[in-house]
Amino acid sequence: MNSEVVNIQAQPKSRFNHIKRTVYKERQLWLLSIPMIIWVFIFSYLPMYGIIIAFMKYIPGRNMFKSQWVGFQHFQTFFHSPDFWHILRNTLAISGLGIVFGFTAPIILALLLNELRLKVFKRVVQTISYLPHFISWVVVASILFAILGNEGFMNDMLMRLGIIDKPIAFLGEGKYFWGLLTATNVWKDVGWSTIIYLSAIAGVDSELYDAGKVDGLGRFGMVWHIILPSIRPTIAVLFILGIGGILNAGFEQQLLIGNSQTREYHEVIDTYAYKYGIQLGNYSYATAIGLLKSVISLVLVLGANRISKKALDTSIL
């Protein structure tokens, strides 16, 4: 009742003073926005400005503005460094494997979970599948050392089954690193990543299922013609994000699981920049590498967004 009265009174007012009222409303919103703008300026845009040291010979502790300009020298150094190709290879291999397995596995798992008839069982599986996500990389590294070590479960089993004669140094040899890291990443996050898909599946209108039933769709048909199209925006958004992050091949994982024997296979752009920047104090060089990575990522995500917009009519920007 009350709101109806308000509505009647508000109507002519909105016609005459529409602009004025909008400004009044937006004054509040801008007041809330300003602290956020300041925050994002300091913590996100100031570091972007700090990128200019990539074109300088910045010496820590000295005034940034008095540093010597060196143009693209650091980039050239990186391209010509003997590490460049294997760093690029490792980065693309690890995140490529991550997209092939880490991106598709949760979708499949979510669809399979959705088909479980016993809801209690489904909940139990879900609960257990999330567990590894809550575990830090420090602990995961510790688990890997224990399971894959010389006396660990894996070697012990393989030896008992007679598949191998002596323990395999899974963590001590570079050639296992990509597979190991991909498997570990999937193990850690497959369950967790299903949440977003399951919630999207849960949001599918039940009338669609009824309509599908009328059209005589079976279980597979329901998945293919109703569930998948319904969760397509979610998949598209996550895929765009995945493409944008293709140069993010992991960081803590490499630092915690990798060791000097696996360096040729675990060193990625981020760990390389960390090593040169923080550990060796070569701030300008490391910043240049970081900048290169950001620029490529931005181009990739814009491209993916464009394709998604055209092909799937879904955009994130």
Of 84-123, binders to another protein (CB under 8 A) are 109, 112-117, 121, 123
Stretch that binds another protein, among 79-87, 94-102, 174-182, 295-303 (CB under 8 A): 295-303
Q: How far is the CB of 265 from another protein (least distance, A)?
A: 20
Interface residue with another protein, options 100, 211, 280, 298 (CB under 8 A): 298
Q: How far is the CB of 223 from another protein (least distance, A)?
A: 7
- Quick one: 77 or 114, whose CB is closer to another protein? 114
b/e sequence 126-140, b meaning 16+ C-beta within 10 Å: beebbebeeeebeeb
Beta bridge partners of 56: 69
**CA distances in angstroms from 242 to 2, 86, 138, 247, listed in the order given:** 49, 22, 24, 10
Rounded to whole angstroms, how far apart are CA atoms 47 and 51? 6
Stretch that binds another protein, among 78-86, 94-102, 170-178, 276-284 (CB under 8 A): 276-284
153-182 binders of another protein (CB under 8 A): 153, 155-156
What Rg do the C-alpha atoms of the chain give, in angstroms?
26
Interface residue with another protein, options 38, 100, 124, 169 (CB under 8 A): 124
Interface residue with another protein, options 70, 88, 195, 307 (CB under 8 A): 195
Rounded to whole angstroms, how far apart are CA atoms 174 and 77? 26
Terminal Cα distance for the chain, rounded: 41
- Quick one: 178 or 276, whose CB is closer to another protein? 276
Q: How far is the CB of 105 from another protein (least distance, A)?
A: 11
- Quick one: 104 or 294, whose CB is closer to another protein? 294
Stretch that binds another protein, among 71-79, 87-95, 173-181, 200-208 (CB under 8 A): 200-208
207-266 binders of another protein (CB under 8 A): 209-210, 212-213, 218-219, 222-223, 226-227, 237, 241, 244, 251-252, 255-256
CB distance 101 to 87 below 8 Å:
no
- Quick one: 103 or 187, whose CB is closer to another protein? 187
Q: How far is the CB of 23 from another protein (least distance, A)?
A: 9
Q: How far is the CB of 94 from another protein (least distance, A)?
A: 17
Q: Which structure tokens are listed for 154? A: 């894996």
CB distance 268 to 250 below 8 Å:
yes
Q: Does 145 bind another protein (CB under 8 A)?
A: yes
CB distance 190 to 105 below 8 Å:
yes
How many residues in the shown chain lie near another protein by CB under 8 A?
111
29-88 binders of another protein (CB under 8 A): 29-30, 32-33, 36-37, 39-40, 42-51, 53
Beta bridge partners of 57: 68
Percent of the chain as helix, strand, coil, to the nearest 5: 80, 0, 20
Residue 300's CB is within 10 A of a number of other CB atoms, namely 17
Q: Does 24 bind another protein (CB under 8 A)?
A: no
Q: Which structure tokens are listed for 269? A: 């752009």
Amino acid at 70: V
Rounded to whole angstroms, how far apart are CA atoms 270 and 289? 8
- Quick one: 88 or 195, whose CB is closer to another protein? 195
